[in-house]
Structure 1
Amino acid sequence: MFYTISKVAWFFATPSNLLISLILLGLILALFKRLRSFGIGMSLVVTLATIALGLLPIASYILLPLEERFPPFRDDGKPVDGIVLLGGSVEAADSASRGMIVSNESAERVLDTIELAHRYPKARILISGGGGTVFGDGAAEAPIIAAYLGSVGIDPSRILVEERSRTTSENAVFSRDLAKPREGERWLLVTSAWHMPRAVGVFEKAGFPVTSYPVDFRTGGGGNNHRPFAFVSEGLRRLDLGAKEWAGLIGYYATNRTPRLFPGPQASASGGSANR
């Protein structure tokens, strides 16, 4: 129920969808004589706001605290027992219909996992990602990624496939049940930097200590974060992404899926794991 409600609610609350809906509402109100001035004014104001939100670096300011919450991983020489790759980087339905892997803009999750698999040849690799949708079951992402890893030379016996999860919270619980991590083991968690705080929080809640390995950064360094976007669509896309993640953090904390509102590195450093 939580999954369905959250997906439906977010469809209407997504900034870009909400802005377009308000513009259309203003145009509809303008059809009525008594509300014509108000409707036209509303559409004009929201249109200007949409352009401003799409071009100005507001989205970068929203994403930046999320992406800087956990520092990039630095190899400290300690052994790595496992790698958890969260889904979200592959278009499962398109991959299934094409018969080949079709990635999206989060493809770094898979690419970095391949690099880690070669760097730590004894580490197990757990891929977590199901295929649930609001309207039913879809193609699961994890088996597609697992097959791809095997095709690029990674021993399939090292790979664990978790294909039931539909949410980040389920990622953590089902991964824990499948991996059965032992005391003192070190597992790297690979996901997008903007998603890492919520991911670490749910893994901590599930009792699965992990070391963060953030990838797929959407913000740059220094003055790059203050540059306007070249396209309105680009700024709105990142605005949707950042707003969704902050809403997810609040929703997960409110429903006791994470132990704190904004999980930080201290949470991921427990249980034999560490960040540097």
Structure 2
Amino acid sequence: MFEIKKIIGSVLMPLPLSLLFIAFCLLFVSKTNTKSFIITWLLVLFLWAISTPYVANRIITPQERVLKPFNVTQHAHLDKIVVLGCDVYPNSQLPSNGQLGGCALSRLVEGLRLAHHYPRADLIVSGGGHSKTSNAALMAKTAQALGIAAHRVKQNPRALDTKDEARLLAPHLVDRQVALVTSASHMSRATDLFNAQGVEVISAPIQFYSLSSQPQSRQFIAQASILKAVTSHCHEWVGKAWISLLRTIDPEAL
């Protein structure tokens, strides 16, 4: 009964329910334009498929499998811990941590874990923002609220994207032992951009999805959170393609 309740509850969520309604309505649409009818059905099925843990696992896991979490036993010393920015939702009525999205929080927590283990390392928080509030500022306030001394926290609030983060931070990181904290999906592109600036980094990936661990009963049900995970990886594919294009035009571009 518990599993049945979970399955029904999952199907009644906005994404799967909307797709089911669209598929149902298509049954009553005129089939005179067979090509359009078939393409629409295929698009609905495609969106459902990439929103399921079963399909997303086959897209995401091969990329995550090559990454390992940062192991403090393998690194005796760090000079800098760089936490790259992510989603931020400015709201002056909330504490700083309440204005950080899940992606930003997961990265910051990993940065704090390393900062506590390496008490002499600087914690560099990066990322711009909007509404006069930067990702870096919110991360810095949260880090201090959670026990990191203010003098250890450095901000990089002017970076609008990963390219800016690498370019602006590079002068402070060259020839240093640097741990780079970002999402697993973002790590490959971020490492590439920092290396291009002459900065050798030690990967500290976070936000692994581990989709195969989801209950079998939900492996084939579309979920908004799964679609978001796949979207994050698609964003990285587009980002890598853009970098390759710019470097083809100008090898020194990035």
TM range (shorter): 0.7 to 0.9
Structure 2 runs not aligned, ≥5 long: 1-14
TM superposition shift of 1:91 = 1.9
Letter in 1 for 2:141: A
Find the aligned partners of 2:94 and 2:220 in 1 and give their Cα distance: 33
TM superposition shift of 1:144 = 0.8
Where does 1:162-173 land on structure 2 (aligned, <5 Å)?
162-173=156-167
Match among 147, 155, 168 for residue 153 of structure 1 = 147
Where does 1:211-250 land on structure 2 (aligned, <5 Å)?
211-220=202-211, 224=213, 228=219, 230-250=221-241
Letter in 1 for 2:173: P
Where does 1:88-127 land on structure 2 (aligned, <5 Å)?
88=86, 90-94=87-91, 96=92, 98-102=94-98, 103-106=100-103, 107-127=105-125
Letter in 1 for 2:167: V
Letter in 2 for 1:124: D
- TM-aligned CA distance change 1:252 to 1:38, over 3 Å: same
Structure 1 runs not aligned, ≥5 long: 1-15, 261-276
Find the aligned partners of 1:226 and 1:206 in 2 and give their Cα distance: 43
Q: Does 1:50 align with 2:44?
A: no
Letter in 2 for 1:127: V
In structure 2, the residue matched to 1:4 is none
Q: Does 1:60 align with 2:54?
A: no
- The 8 Å contact of residues 70 and 214 in structure 1, kept in 2 or not, is answered as yes
Letter in 1 for 2:94: R
Q: What's the secondary structure of 1:122's corresponding residue?
A: coil
Q: What's the secondary structure of 1:101's corresponding residue?
A: helix
Match among 116, 119, 133 for residue 139 of structure 1 = 133
Alignment deviations for residues 208-253 of structure 1 (CA, whole Å, 9 cap, x no partner):
2111111111125xx5489625443233222212211122122222
Q: How many residues align?
A: 222
- TM-aligned CA distance change 1:77 to 1:195, over 3 Å: closer
**What's the RMSD between the two structures over aligned residues?**
3.1
Q: Does 1:251 align with 2:242?
A: yes
In structure 2, the residue matched to 1:271 is none
- The 8 Å contact of residues 143 and 161 in structure 1, kept in 2 or not, is answered as yes
Match among 177, 184, 203 for residue 186 of structure 1 = 177
Q: What's the secondary structure of 2:68's corresponding residue?
A: coil
- TM-aligned CA distance change 1:226 to 1:204, over 3 Å: farther
TM superposition shift of 1:161 = 0.4
Find the aligned partners of 1:57 and 1:118 in 2 and give their Cα distance: 37
